[in-house]
Structure 1
Amino acid sequence: MRVTLLGTGDTTGTPTVGCDCDTCEAARERDVERTRFSIHVANERTDESLLIDFSPDFRYQFLREGVSLPDAAIVTHVHFDHLDGLGNLFRLTDSVSVYAADETDPETGQSVAETVASDYHYLDAIDVQPTPPLEPVRICGFDVTLVPVDHPPLVCYGVVVEDPETGSKLSITGDTNFSVPDRSRELLADPDLLLADGIVPAHLCEYHPIGGRHEDADGTPRTFGTKHMTREGALSLASELNAERTRLVHVAHYYPADEAFEDPLAVDGEEYVM
């Protein structure tokens, strides 16, 4: 399993357009970036690849990293920074199976799969596969499971990718606060690599209109607002999940410049072979 981090940033990415904050300036000086979220997982045994989420930066990411076009893909939820790159498949490929959860979202009245199918009805190349969460599906030679997480107000899913031949395991929290359901935590546990949503450091919760939530025993917020984990929350979850290696993704440019490029915060282009 070869995992390439195509996009490690939040909705606006880093550097953010039109922003001259210290963190964005430091990113430009270092020639690093965090484009919108997307992960490429190659199965070198089967010569297939799986894409997790369609970043609006799809074209740029694939040209920059030189990875293969996906044979299949997963959509974790319908926010634009995870879905709206799907249109880039136009004229690039003849067939791609797109897996998405089949649970109806009370907020939209549709499942993620139904939203993908309706929004991208004009793409003859895509074959939407409604997928039940918590049940493994064989995709590109991997066993892949969608796990419900908590990203209000929309339904959202993390992803577990396991290689049945080698036993290697990739866990992705997806966009979530710290309140990940117990069954999802069980399935995410013991990964070789964990990619965890850690949008900002906990000390920035004071600037959120509703502050932080899910405080630990020391009072440190593990959720920023309602939708995303803090750095401290992500690392707390990683410890609970017994992750061998953790990289934080969906990272915002709000990290102070002297914290923004420290481990375990990921940047685009990182590659892991398991």
Structure 2
Amino acid sequence: MQVTLLGTGDTTGTPTVGCTCETCRTARDRGISRSRFSVHVQHEETGESLLVDFSPDFRQQFLENDVPLPEAGIVTHVHFDHLDGLGNVYRVLDSLTVHAPSEVDPVTEESVAGTIRNKFHYLEDRVGVAACDPFEPFETCGFEVRFVPVDHPPLRCYGLAVEEPETGAKLSITGDTSYDVPERSREILANPDLLLADAIVPASLCDRHPIGGRHERPDGTPRTFGTKHMTREGALDLADELSADRTRLVHLAHFYPAEEAFEEPLAVDGERYHLE
């Protein structure tokens, strides 16, 4: 299994358009990009590839990374920075199956699968939407995949476990989530060769959020920024609890102080990992 991090940033990315903060200036000076979140997963035996989330930066991500266009896709939730790149399919791919959760969200009164069908109805001649039940395994591109519910209010959001049956290689993705990941979901995400964990800001910035931080460590360090995303510290704690062999922090905001923003294990676009 080869994993390429196409997009490692949050909803505005780093550098952020029009921003002159020190972190964005440093990223420009060093030629570093954190575009909106997307992950490319290729089965090295069959050559088939799976795209996890469709970033609005789809075009640039595929131009800048030597990876093939996908045979199938995954959508974890309906926020624009994970979904709107699907519109690129119309002129680029003749056909694509997109796997998405079947569970109806009480806020939107639609499932993720239903939202895709309705929003991208003009793609119905090219995009087939496969509705998948949370926790239930399904097969695509030679992988066994499972959606797992996480905590990203007010919408339903899902993490992902991707396994290669032949080698046992496993990729886990937390999805957009707070630290309050349900226990059953943690069990499925556990013991990955590579964990991609949402870590939008360091815990030190929680006092700048109007809601502050949540899910504190015993020493008071917040593991959740506001209500929606893990802090760096929370993501690393979750990685320890999941016994991840390797962890890369993603969905990163430009609010990280410049002296911390590009330190390990914070990911940048273009990283590649071979899992076996």
Q: For 1:175, give the aligned amino acid.
A: D
Match of 1:262 in 2: 263
How far does residue 47 in structure 1 lie from its aligned partner after superposition? Answer: 1.3
Measured against aligned partners, the alpha-carbon deviations of 1:30-86 in whole angstroms (never above 9, x if no partner) come to 101100000000001111000000000000000100211110000000000000000
Q: For 1:85, give the aligned amino acid.
A: G
Match of 1:98 in 2: 98
How far does residue 92 in structure 1 lie from its aligned partner after superposition? Answer: 1.1
Match of 2:3 in 1: 3
Q: What number of residue pairs does the alignment pair up?
A: 274
Asked if residue 59 in structure 1 is aligned to residue 47 in structure 2, the reply is: no
How far does residue 87 in structure 1 lie from its aligned partner after superposition? Answer: 0.1
Spell out structure 1 runs of 4+ moving beyond 4 A.
none
How far does residue 94 in structure 1 lie from its aligned partner after superposition? Answer: 1.3
Name structure 2 gaps, 5 residues minimum.
none
Asked if residue 115 in structure 1 is aligned to residue 93 in structure 2, the reply is: no
TM-score (norm 1): 0.99
Asked if residue 243 in structure 1 is aligned to residue 244 in structure 2, the reply is: yes
Q: Percent identity?
A: 69
Match of 1:252 in 2: 253
**Equivalent runs, 1:123-272 vs 2, <5 Å:** 123=123, 124-272=125-273
How far does residue 93 in structure 1 lie from its aligned partner after superposition? Answer: 1.2
Distance 2:100 2:129 in 1: 7
Distance 1:118 1:93 in 2: 19
Distance 1:55 1:29 in 2: 24
| Further displaced range: 98-107 or 88-97 | 88-97
Distance 2:45 2:133 in 1: 26
Match of 2:42 in 1: 42
Distance 2:92 2:24 in 1: 32
Distance 1:80 1:137 in 2: 25
Name structure 1 gaps, 5 residues minimum.
none
Asked if residue 12 in structure 1 is aligned to residue 12 in structure 2, the reply is: yes
TM-score (norm 2): 0.99
